Amino acid sequence: MEEGPGQDAPVTRRRVLALGAGGVAVLLAGGAGLAGSRSGGGAAGAGASGAPASRAAGTFSPDTAAAVLANRARAVRDGDRMAFLATVGSAPAAFQDAQSRVYGNLRRLPLEGWRERVVDTEAVDGETAVVRVEVRYRLRGFDRSDVARTRYLTLAPRAGTWTIVGDGTSRGLADDTDIWDCGPLAVVRGRAGLVIGDGAGLDGIAERLDAAVPVVTSVVGKAWAQRVVALVPADATLASALAGPGQSLGQIAALATVAPAAGGGRGEDRVVVSPGTFGRLNELGRDVVLTHELTHVATGGARDRRTPLWLIEGFADYVGYRRVKISTRSAAGELRREVSAGRVPSALPAAGAFAGGSPRLSQAYQEAWLACRMVADRYGEAALVRLYRAAGRAPEAAALRDVLGLTRERFTALWRDYVKEELA
């Protein structure tokens, strides 16, 4: 867990499984993701394109920028590449090339609206103006509200008007990354998933998501969207940026996160698939990882700040393993070795045990999984679902008492016995 309850940053859950002959290893890496601008060019100063600045353009105002942005939105809607590129026609070649890629990618997306609006003017120095822009868009058939992204654009007077000449990197301003910052996008739409990216295996991911949705629904019920958007960039740095501030997906196969909503709403669920790591998983591992992350989408695990993390992650693993054939001893290989050596865990894993630098990270996931599996085995799957939902509304001790009739101490003792029975 990267951000725990009570913290201000968006909550995300991340998970990787490497499944092979030796069993299951769960890896989680910490580190700061670089959410830098990928627009292909910094903010150009006056005259950067070789053209002289034109005072005839008049004094800059936000309305001036708004008119340029309206032309861009209209060009995206109408499929007018020339009109879109005309708004950056005086920018350096690298920025124009990047904007051309962005336009092509936007046209490939099933957009239900895309627009930019000026939020603030960051700087005006007479020759250039830097504005902060909110980008709003919605993916048709999947997003219920507009997603919001922040971008920075530099404008300068050229040939009697103001035009976009770069981004905000020259002033240390970094854009929010989105999937259109990839190379040429491909879009695959399955029955339940919209898979977007320039990475490999998009068709296979769509098929796995289609197969996972009924598995998740059979456990949690139908009261969720039963669909998801998966982002599959080919570049690992871009994947980390898509995952959110401070994320690093270098050793992570997939992550459930929330794209911020315009106006501060609930946001839209996304599953970010990390390019290299997911590709190194075997077939079983890919099924488990995507079902695990889809469970977070179905239960709101990526935005949950109340439910204990052992229950959030253990429940997702319970659902993830539900349709696969793997022995408990293999799936919990690291924990089994400790139990065989006489080191039975004394307490349920705390939130810190799921942090990237935790020395017993694999064991924390395995302990959480077995706690949820015990509830399902002894009290029924319906009781596990009720416990999960109750823990999202009430303190953990109250949820255990109300659903299972157990104190936390008694639950822990039963779980320790279960771990010994399953792994000794």
pLDDT in tens, the chain (424 residues): 333 323 233 333 344 443 332 333 332 332 222 233 344 444 444 333 333 433 445 688 899 999 999 999 999 999 999 999 999 999 999 999 999 999 999 999 999 999 999 999 999 987 899 999 999 999 999 999 999 999 999 999 988 889 999 999 989 999 999 999 999 999 999 999 999 999 999 999 999 999 999 999 999 999 999 999 999 999 999 999 998 887 777 778 999 999 999 988 889 999 999 988 899 999 999 999 999 999 999 999 988 889 999 999 999 999 999 989 899 999 999 999 999 999 999 999 999 998 767 889 899 999 999 999 999 999 999 999 999 999 999 999 999 999 999 999 999 999 999 999 999 8
Q: According to the model, what pLDDT value does residue 260 have?
A: 93
Q: Which two tokens stand for residue 384?
A: 């596990």
Q: How many Å from the N-terminal Cα to the C-terminal Cα in the chain?
A: 29
Q: According to the model, what pLDDT value does residue 248 have?
A: 77
- C-alpha 238, offset from chain centre: 11
Please, which residues bridge with residue 10 across strands?
none
Q: According to the model, what pLDDT value does residue 45 have?
A: 40
Q: According to the model, what pLDDT value does residue 17 have?
A: 43
Q: Could you tell me the pTM of the whole model?
A: 0.85
Q: According to the model, what pLDDT value does residue 50 have?
A: 38
Distance set, CA 34 to CA 238, 265, 267 (Å): 8, 25, 22
Q: Report which secondary-structure segment, H or E, holds 50.
A: none
Nearest to 5 by CA among 311, 239, 261: 311
What is the distance between the alpha carbons of residues 114 and 110, in angstroms, rounded to a whole number? 10
What is the distance between the alpha carbons of residues 397 and 378, in angstroms, rounded to a whole number? 19
Distance set, CA 204 to CA 108, 264, 279, 287, 419 (Å): 20, 34, 11, 10, 35
The amino acid that residue 172 corresponds to is G
CA atoms within 13 Å, Cβ hemisphere of 3: 19
